[in-house]
Structure 1
């Protein structure tokens, strides 16, 4: 008998164990008696004939009359005995059926619980401890479902009953409740945070049997954490580096190096782009046959000076209240670098003046999109003609060495007016003879280099930057992100300067040892569990979409064509097949545990090689810091960052993997494929209103709540459907592989829902559209489903609660 996991079979109700006439229970045909239809004499004659044919003789001492009389007596007895026999056998049949029902209901479920193998892997043991701290929706549903998401959710968290009964308890009980809630909130899942935590665990593990490349990545991370060594070294490593660049005017020792030569060195060796930014990407205007072509993208830089966009003048500007703290921070930098106090202010003034002139031409992304200034294609030769102050071919060849570049190669501009204005500004400052000894352009580049190397410098440098950030926050003025963010950036995104040191070190390690981490990620999902789940989720999603009520057949045909055309592609690193190749790739890297500055310089060199290789790669690279899928044409790009513990592990029970990552994957795909489904399907409004009504009933807010707007109804439908899709996909997986393991002895369905219940509002960038936390959807699913292990009933609202189902 194949195993049927506990909790996935519909539970037999207790009433089925009692005989009910209206159910039409009848004895089996095998136990029914057929009454004689012949006369007694005929029956006697036939019996004698059968005995003769079988060679049986009448008993001695009897005559025929006596035998006939006996037969008549026997026939009469049988005639009266049949109804009694029918009753007895019918009763026995009913008893047998009821006994079988009792056996199935009690013993088979008990056997099913026994055959579900407990998962004992280290990952499952950690997951068991994690679940023990998490809130259980099946134990305290009244408290568990009384919270919300969105902008009005502040103060309403898991375990905090919004009806206020917690406030009536004693102070000691309140303290215990707050402590429990804190533990529960810490146990909820945030994908980006969990991803950083997972990388941190890899880098902090002490496995001495790993490859040398992995050990180098771990040593780099440890050297990054060693801030004591950084403070001991002070600013001397940076001053030594400045001397390699020819000195600088601030110290009075400068070789007056050529502007373009210094700029090329900064771009090639130190990943520093003071006057413009560089990316690698595709042109969305290319036709399908050219989708593999990649271009160098040139954009405005991340200027150090804090600026904001003035919508009236259509220009960027700096306010006086921001210039003063910025000026003070610049003075602090120069003082820490040993600049003489006598001419400190002169260099700071020129730096701010030059920065302000460049900032005027910088514009926000939305403005450039409206003006059609993105993806302007031209050759390097044409760019040189429009912005002659920069040696474009020499600088780009340095930044993308050893890739061959020619003047006729095309590049993509994302703000040509800024590039033109930047060239004019540089030319003006180069030709100002009164500033020839002050070198403002060189000082500008050195201070940008200081910003690049800040993670590897004395903490006094980073403290100065943090103080400026806090000051700007207090004044209510923040620097706008004006530069263009490509779909794939080399650094994988930026962290706030005040982020925990370990997070910054994780990010820096990923920048340099990206392939090491990608290889380790691939090892985690190499067993095929992720691919199988992706297939099951997409199959369930297509079925779910097809069953919706659409506005018309044309819309259904359009949507189904769109859904069926996608091709899932799990992005993994394929260029490295084993640890030997990984070690060879990093054989030239030398990591010193107590010298993070030198390690960081090597990281910047690795980063340059990675950027250069992207120019000719056919795929999109392996962005392991991504946690959600994306669309590229008809390809559904699925990052490895989705499949990491504690969200996913190949040794987990499938119930856990489908309950968390299955739901998140289904939700992300629905967001990508059906962004406007509210206007296309009648089901969205119906389900959204139903779930919202269910929530209001449980929380007792029917009278005070307003109807949900369309965007929130769509988000409620989307997440409700994603949970249904994940559950259906899991059930389908069990038809193919009936066996599954369990954690902490939970039934499979309960384990599925408990894992899902750890998903909170903030796992989705559009969480502000969700008026209730996703875990409440368990309540809506269980209201109409017999699959839930227990009734999710809140005693205060039981009657209303059970009547609802969406």
Structure 2
């Protein structure tokens, strides 16, 4: 078996951004042949007796009779002849075996078909790969610490992979490697590699949407132009800062004024509340959305109902499990009080009266907060999905004009008091009504304005993303965390308002055929892998087998004419982000109305993982974007990155409890973990390092996902021979290198992964015919054990 030190040329990092035209040989697929070419060996074997004869003939002194020649000369000629015949036989045998092996492994070694990918996307990918750490140059360090960001560094107190497992020691070798990798990380940071080393899927998608919004593609589509104009207005921080609080104060005047910052017309409480709900998607006292009745959904009914829930309170609160009440702590109330004072000052409130208004606002907020409860508590008390009519709700919470507010929120839909709705915290709604009634009946002037102030500050919170930086800085003064880049903030805000437009643009740029092919191949390989498991109950496997995977395609996406109609009433100004933002608030509310009329809710354009819809396994288009995927990428790159993520997502989604359903999960998890302990010099007390069921399952999921993706890729090579290359890498090496770029992908299950995901490459490569070279660390590995994983 070849060691990395035996192949220095292959393992040198290649820094050229231009793909090499010469493919790298798949070393793991070759038989160690003699140094001579077989044809040369055969030719030399044939010429050797003739040259020997000429040597004797040219020297008369050696021309002796056969009988006179010494016995040792005869033996020497015989041995020479036998040796020549042996060399010829070995060369022929090696050539035959080599050709046979290549024919049998044709799907793994397509070096003759490898050609460089020269597309623009491949050139960018080549530049990215050339600056990233190569997993095949320093296998021990890379495969044990490839996700070694600062959050796992021992120096910052963060949890390193494997910590938290009883008996998991830290030896000097690990500390030395961490010091080395920390120095390397600091050097790479100057070249901007820290962010690109670990590809967070959400960030990759946001970056791709940014490129779409900033592109200069000429389009006649009005909705697309408005989306791009909205994005540019968000980036125009100069105009936003110069406008200050004036746009918000102007809006308040349209709503009847505000006693805190000027004249107030003492508008009716329910009228103001209805206006905030209809035009500004603001819900100060309760939340509204459309949803199904879970009991009816089980029978396939698609009807939706109005859902009323407790609001997202502005005041910071905590749940007291002893008193079963929400409460605000002094240490959190003080900064909140200071923020409220700052808000009023920015909005022109005189300092002499602002403290009174702030005190009333906090008092009202605290009373409402006491009635709120977290979801687990409400679930345990059966407070979710309490069905009643609007008339019944009116009798229990009379302070709110429920029919009027709901008609405003879901305009132009016609509602009656006999329509059914669902409550998700009726005790809160009842208590909220009592609190509002109490405050409405108070006679002092400050009390009469408190409810209005409460609604205005909630509206301020809704519009804060469109206001100048002084307001956002007030939310979290002295925040030490790195601020979100402005472009990312603007992409997210554009998606909130123009999600259907971005979905349309994403669809037009998606490679549907290539995406559907990788989905089908991965799912087919996954079903084959599951079929080999030792199941305690076949039901789970049969459910997986019955799923129908498909790409989320055009049926759910509006065409250009529909998009233009949807945004026909929106007028975008590139120098007034506040005005643009306000217009889109009413658009969001119109979506709630459409959902209530029976239309299916569209999948989130920012979705990056598959989801279930009936018996279908839906893959959102946001998964299929560069750097993870591109139609012109070598298939090895697509399968190594996105193919692995797809397989991992499916296993998590469809088999969340597979550990209890198959003994194979335990066996594979322990097998890989034992190998990890051996390589890291922690063997000898394996029992002390045993994994939990969740950890064994996660090891199995990621190991199986990598194997499934690799098998799917090899199957694609069988069906469609030939693939391109980047940096001259062989097929399997490019596959594994691509995987190494995403193996640190964070998901809710990553906390259960006890080792670096990149280490799975060594487990896969224990089957040497699958990998471009042998991967061995200086200490002895258990190759035979791994072959059974």
Deviation, structure 1 residue 563: 1.0
Is 1:797 the counterpart of 2:779 in the alignment? yes
SS across alignment from 2:422:
strand
Q: Distance in 2 between matches of 1:318 and 1:529?
A: 53
Aligned to 1:531: 516
Q: 643-652 or 348-357, which moves further after superposition?
A: 643-652
Q: Report if the CA contact (8 A) 2:31-2:98 is conserved.
A: no
Is 1:713 the counterpart of 2:699 in the alignment? no
1:628 maps to which of 609, 614, 622: 609
- Describe the shift of the 1:106–1:690 C-alpha distance in structure 2 as closer, same or farther (beyond 3 A): closer
Aligned to 2:7: none
- Describe the shift of the 1:333–1:98 C-alpha distance in structure 2 as closer, same or farther (beyond 3 A): closer
Aligned to 2:119: 121
* TM superposition score normalised by structure 1: 0.80
Q: Distance in 1 between matches of 2:596 and 2:452?
A: 29
- Describe the shift of the 1:232–1:619 C-alpha distance in structure 2 as closer, same or farther (beyond 3 A): same
Q: Distance in 1 between matches of 2:774 and 2:734?
A: 15
SS across alignment from 1:342:
helix
Deviation, structure 1 residue 199: 1.7
1:178 maps to which of 186, 202, 217: 186
Is 1:732 the counterpart of 2:718 in the alignment? no
Aligned to 2:58: none
* TM superposition score normalised by structure 2: 0.82
Aligned to 2:32: 14
Equivalent residue runs for 1:416-427 within 5 Å: 416-427=426-437
Q: Distance in 2 between matches of 1:414 and 1:569?
A: 34
Aligned to 2:473: 463
Q: Report if the CA contact (8 A) 2:280-2:586 is conserved.
A: yes
Aligned to 2:586: 605
What do residues 551-602 of structure 1 show as CA deviations (whole Å, max 9, x unaligned)? 3xxx02x122211232324334536565455444434322111111101111
Q: Distance in 2 between matches of 1:179 and 1:707?
A: 37
Q: Distance in 2 between matches of 1:179 and 1:733?
A: 39
Unpaired runs of 5+ residues, structure 1, are 21-87, 471-495
Q: Distance in 2 between matches of 1:586 and 1:514?
A: 12
Equivalent residue runs for 1:91-110 within 5 Å: 99=95
Is 1:684 the counterpart of 2:692 in the alignment? no
Deviation, structure 1 residue 509: 0.4
What do residues 662-717 of structure 1 show as CA deviations (whole Å, max 9, x unaligned)? 11111111112222221221111110011011111122222476211111011101
SS across alignment from 2:718:
helix
Q: Distance in 1 between matches of 2:34 and 2:220?
A: 59
Aligned to 1:141: 139
Deviation, structure 1 residue 380: 2.0
1:663 maps to which of 637, 644, 657: 644
Equivalent residue runs for 1:424-503 within 5 Å: 424-435=434-445, 438-467=448-477, 499-503=484-488
1:132 maps to which of 117, 130, 133: 130
1:761 maps to which of 735, 744, 761: 744
Is 1:189 the counterpart of 2:174 in the alignment? no
SS across alignment from 2:786:
coil
SS across alignment from 2:765:
helix
Q: Distance in 1 between matches of 2:528 and 2:176?
A: 48
1:330 maps to which of 335, 340, 355: 340
What do residues 481-505 of structure 1 show as CA deviations (whole Å, max 9, x unaligned)? xxxxxxxxxxxxxxx9953333221
Is 1:650 the counterpart of 2:636 in the alignment? no
Q: Distance in 2 between matches of 1:601 and 1:255?
A: 22
Deviation, structure 1 residue 279: 2.0
1:515 maps to which of 490, 500, 503: 500
Aligned to 1:412: 422
What do residues 253-279 of structure 1 show as CA deviations (whole Å, max 9, x unaligned)? 111111111111111111111011112
Q: Distance in 2 between matches of 1:259 and 1:433?
A: 15
Aligned to 1:616: 597
Q: Report if the CA contact (8 A) 2:320-2:327 is conserved.
A: yes
**What is the number of equivalent residue pairs in this alignment?**
704
Equivalent residue runs for 1:186-225 within 5 Å: 186-209=196-219, 211-225=221-235
Q: Distance in 2 between matches of 1:172 and 1:773?
A: 17
Aligned to 1:248: 258
SS across alignment from 1:232:
helix
- Describe the shift of the 1:199–1:175 C-alpha distance in structure 2 as closer, same or farther (beyond 3 A): same
Q: 636-645 or 497-506, which moves further after superposition?
A: 497-506
SS across alignment from 2:643:
helix
Q: Report if the CA contact (8 A) 1:250-1:347 is conserved.
A: yes
- Describe the shift of the 1:759–1:505 C-alpha distance in structure 2 as closer, same or farther (beyond 3 A): same
Q: Report if the CA contact (8 A) 2:28-2:773 is conserved.
A: no
Q: Report if the CA contact (8 A) 1:759-1:774 is conserved.
A: no
Deviation, structure 1 residue 244: 0.4
Q: Distance in 1 between matches of 2:85 and 2:659?
A: 61
Aligned to 1:586: 567
Q: Distance in 2 between matches of 1:430 and 1:169?
A: 67
- Describe the shift of the 1:570–1:435 C-alpha distance in structure 2 as closer, same or farther (beyond 3 A): farther
Unpaired runs of 5+ residues, structure 2, are 1-22, 39-83, 162-169
- Describe the shift of the 1:799–1:431 C-alpha distance in structure 2 as closer, same or farther (beyond 3 A): closer
Q: Distance in 2 between matches of 1:663 and 1:171?
A: 30
Q: Distance in 2 between matches of 1:387 and 1:742?
A: 67
SS across alignment from 2:618:
strand
Q: Distance in 2 between matches of 1:169 and 1:371?
A: 52
SS across alignment from 2:365:
helix
Q: Report if the CA contact (8 A) 2:198-2:745 is conserved.
A: no
What do residues 778-797 of structure 1 show as CA deviations (whole Å, max 9, x unaligned)? 11010124110111122x12
Q: Distance in 2 between matches of 1:573 and 1:406?
A: 36
1:300 maps to which of 285, 310, 317: 310
Aligned to 1:567: 548
Deviation, structure 1 residue 90: 13
Aligned to 2:376: 366
Q: Report if the CA contact (8 A) 2:26-2:109 is conserved.
A: no
Q: Distance in 1 between matches of 2:773 and 2:95?
A: 25
Q: 243-252 or 682-691, which moves further after superposition?
A: 243-252
Aligned to 1:546: 531
- Describe the shift of the 1:152–1:676 C-alpha distance in structure 2 as closer, same or farther (beyond 3 A): farther
Q: Report if the CA contact (8 A) 1:135-1:184 is conserved.
A: no
Deviation, structure 1 residue 337: 0.7
| Structure 1 vs Structure 2 CA RMSD | 3.5
Q: Distance in 2 between matches of 1:734 and 1:380?
A: 61
SS across alignment from 1:467:
coil
Q: Report if the CA contact (8 A) 1:7-1:748 is conserved.
A: no
Q: Report if the CA contact (8 A) 2:360-2:446 is conserved.
A: no
- Describe the shift of the 1:729–1:291 C-alpha distance in structure 2 as closer, same or farther (beyond 3 A): farther
Q: Distance in 1 between matches of 2:422 and 2:483?
A: 34
Q: Report if the CA contact (8 A) 2:27-2:772 is conserved.
A: no
Aligned to 1:309: 319
SS across alignment from 2:411:
coil
What do residues 107-150 of structure 1 show as CA deviations (whole Å, max 9, x unaligned)? 99999535323222222221111111222212210210122879
Aligned to 2:275: 265
What do residues 420-439 of structure 1 show as CA deviations (whole Å, max 9, x unaligned)? 11111111111223348742
* Structure exhibiting the larger radius of gyration computed from Cα positions: 1
- Describe the shift of the 1:157–1:583 C-alpha distance in structure 2 as closer, same or farther (beyond 3 A): farther
Q: Report if the CA contact (8 A) 2:640-2:739 is conserved.
A: yes
What do residues 219-259 of structure 1 show as CA deviations (whole Å, max 9, x unaligned)? 21121122221121111111111010001121341111111
Q: Distance in 1 between matches of 2:554 and 2:402?
A: 33
- Describe the shift of the 1:172–1:193 C-alpha distance in structure 2 as closer, same or farther (beyond 3 A): closer
- Describe the shift of the 1:174–1:714 C-alpha distance in structure 2 as closer, same or farther (beyond 3 A): closer
Q: Distance in 2 between matches of 1:236 and 1:420?
A: 37
Q: Distance in 2 between matches of 1:567 and 1:366?
A: 33
Deviation, structure 1 residue 307: 0.7
Deviation, structure 1 residue 305: 0.7
Aligned to 2:682: 701
Is 1:743 the counterpart of 2:726 in the alignment? yes
- Describe the shift of the 1:173–1:754 C-alpha distance in structure 2 as closer, same or farther (beyond 3 A): closer
Aligned to 2:403: 393
Deviation, structure 1 residue 800: 4.4
SS across alignment from 1:636:
strand
